[in-house]
């Protein structure tokens, strides 16, 4: 039995057996399952499974195993249990009986963190999480292309133009993907959500004049797209109640798209543009006026947001900054959250004698330096407690540095070392210096007062 198969077998056993697993999903770093009876799961034993870096009990039970291996272990669980692997965004579309629905609804009601604001951010996150692989890959290719051009590569050469096409393609049509996922998240037909997204990026907008002013392609950004997609999902469900099934396929989508189209052009695009301007100008003023203090606070408080998984809700904010001013000064600041944690993990690794803890850190550090922070968060700093706080302090120092030098990125992607390819070419060295500063201060704070060997006895 291979390593992944053994790990999958152990996870299934600690979850109460194959018959106790209701649904099986995974994201970039976590296996996500819902159980028929959560009392049968041995969470303490699950944390002890070799390769498991942490466990989060939320609306789904999330088992952190790290990027790359998560796909193979989930597949092994699927093969052993016979369960299909569902993407995270498809979770609510799976048919279930009334008993299962009641149990899941009860669990949802009893969630400790189910505040309206957090639920709203979770919905935003659910829209963008499925897009992350495409955004990361495209952003990295676009960044490398930008660096190559700055190093005197001929921008007119066929190879550079092909790289640019590959790298920027997703960002050119991101509105369509966001519209699809938004409609899906709010119970509508995905294709209609995509059609709503097209309304805001269609080049034909330039030929339309309303109230004396020509419409602007892209006005409203992704916020406008989400508003339009929510509206078309809402209309589709309401119209369907009054339409006979025999003509539903014709009447319902036609009316929903027609109403949404006019509402978008007359109302939602201007409203989306106003909200986009409000958010971007507000953040820029915060960074400009607050300077290093803004960077310190933003970076120092980012890791707690990552713990909840709500940080993905910031994706439209990053995109609006890029659309509005051409680059994103927020992402380098927030990227320091992961850097402070890497520094803290190094300090613990060199200080502790706990071999299991050292093994977890050794597995989490490489991906942590490459911008995937969950293994170190849930496997090291958060369970230990105080190192999580010292990691935040180290991040704050790095964030203050990034804010002072106004480092910004031209696209969005994973943080850590790979983000350097997305930073403005003349600011790449500054970003790396800030990254090292966050490493150093995360290390120093943790080494000095953030970790004692007694903390590792239960790890």
- Determine the Cα–Cα distance for residues 300 and 445; give it in Å rounded to an integer: 13
Tokens for 128?
Answer: 């963008």
Q: Which of 27, 342, 407, 422 is catalytic?
A: 27
Task: Specify the residue for token string 């290390």.
Answer: 443
Task: Specify the residue for token string 């100008």.
Answer: 281
CA 117 vs. chain centroid, Å, equals 17
| Strands, E assignment, 276-331 | none
- Determine the Cα–Cα distance for residues 257 and 236; give it in Å rounded to an integer: 9
| Strands, E assignment, 366-409 | none
Closest CA to 36 of 102, 113, 82, 100: 100
Tokens for 142?
Answer: 């676009």
Say if CB 416 and CB 338 are below 8 A apart.
Answer: yes
Query: How many DSSP H helices and E strands does the chain contain?
Result: 21, 7
- Determine the Cα–Cα distance for residues 431 and 116; give it in Å rounded to an integer: 36
Say if CB 275 and CB 221 are below 8 A apart.
Answer: no
- Determine the Cα–Cα distance for residues 259 and 199; give it in Å rounded to an integer: 12
392 noted as active-site residue: no
Region of 97 (left: φ > 0; alpha: ψ -120 to 50; beta: rest) is beta
Tokens for 288?
Answer: 């400009």
Write the CB contacts of 375 (distance below 8 Å, at least 6 apart in sequence).
29, 53, 54, 64, 65, 66, 360, 363, 364, 367, 368
Say if CB 398 and CB 434 are below 8 A apart.
Answer: yes
Residue positions annotated with a catalytic role: 27
């Amino acid at each position: 039995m291979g390593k992944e198969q053994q790990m999958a077998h152990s996870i299934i056993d600690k979850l109460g057996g194959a018959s106790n697993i209701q649904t099986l999903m995974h994201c970039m770093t976590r296996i996500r399952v819902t159980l028929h009876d959560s009392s049968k799961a041995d969470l303490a034993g699950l944390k002890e499974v070799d390769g498991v870096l942490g466990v989060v009990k939320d609306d789904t039970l999330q088992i952190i195993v790290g990027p790359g291996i998560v796909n193979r272990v989930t597949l092994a669980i699927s093969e052993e249990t016979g369960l299909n692997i569902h993407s995270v965004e498809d979770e609510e579309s799976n048919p279930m009986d009334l008993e299962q629905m009641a149990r899941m609804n009860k669990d949802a009601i009893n969630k400790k963190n189910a505040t309206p604001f957090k639920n709203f951010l979770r919905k935003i996150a659910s829209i963008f999480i499925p897009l992350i692989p495409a955004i990361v890959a495209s952003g990295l290719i676009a960044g490398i292309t930008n660096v190559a051009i700055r190093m005197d590569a001929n921008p007119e050469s066929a190879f550079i133009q092909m790289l640019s096409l590959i790298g920027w393609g997703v960002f050119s049509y991101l509105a369509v993907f966001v519209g699809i996922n938004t409609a899906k998240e709010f119970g509508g037909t995905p294709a209609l959500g995509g059609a709503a997204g097209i309304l805001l990026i269609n080049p034909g907008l330039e030929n339309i004049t309303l109230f004396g002013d020509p419409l602007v392609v892209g006005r409203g950004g992704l916020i406008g797209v989400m508003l339009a997609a929510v509206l078309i999902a809402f209309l589709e469900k309401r119209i369907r109640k009054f339409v006979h099934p025999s003509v539903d396929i014709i009447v319902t989508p036609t009316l929903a798209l027609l109403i949404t189209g006019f509402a978008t052009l007359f109302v939602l695009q201007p409203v989306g543009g106003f909200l986009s301007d409000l958010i971007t100008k507000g953040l820029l003023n915060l960074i400009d006026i607050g300077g290093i203090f803004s960077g310190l606070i933003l970076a120092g408080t980012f890791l707690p947001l990552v713990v909840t998984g709500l940080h993905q809700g910031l994706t439209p904010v990053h995109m609006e900054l890029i659309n509005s001013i051409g680059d994103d000064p927020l992402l380098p600041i927030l990227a320091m959250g992961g850097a402070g944690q890497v520094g803290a993990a190094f300090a613990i690794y060199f200080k502790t004698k706990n071999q299991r803890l050292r093994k977890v850190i050794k597995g989490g550090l490489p991906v942590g330096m490459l911008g995937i922070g969950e293994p170190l968060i849930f496997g090291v700093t958060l369970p230990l407690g105080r190192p999580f706080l010292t990691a935040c302090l180290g991040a704050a120092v790095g964030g203050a540095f990034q804010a002072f030098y106004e480092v910004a990125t031209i696209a969005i992607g994973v943080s850590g070392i790979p983000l350097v390819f997305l930073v403005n070419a003349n600011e790449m060295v500054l970003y790396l210096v800030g990254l090292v500063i966050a490493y150093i201060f995360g290390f120093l704070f943790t080494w000095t007062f953030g970790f004692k060997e007694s903390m590792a006895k239960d790890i």
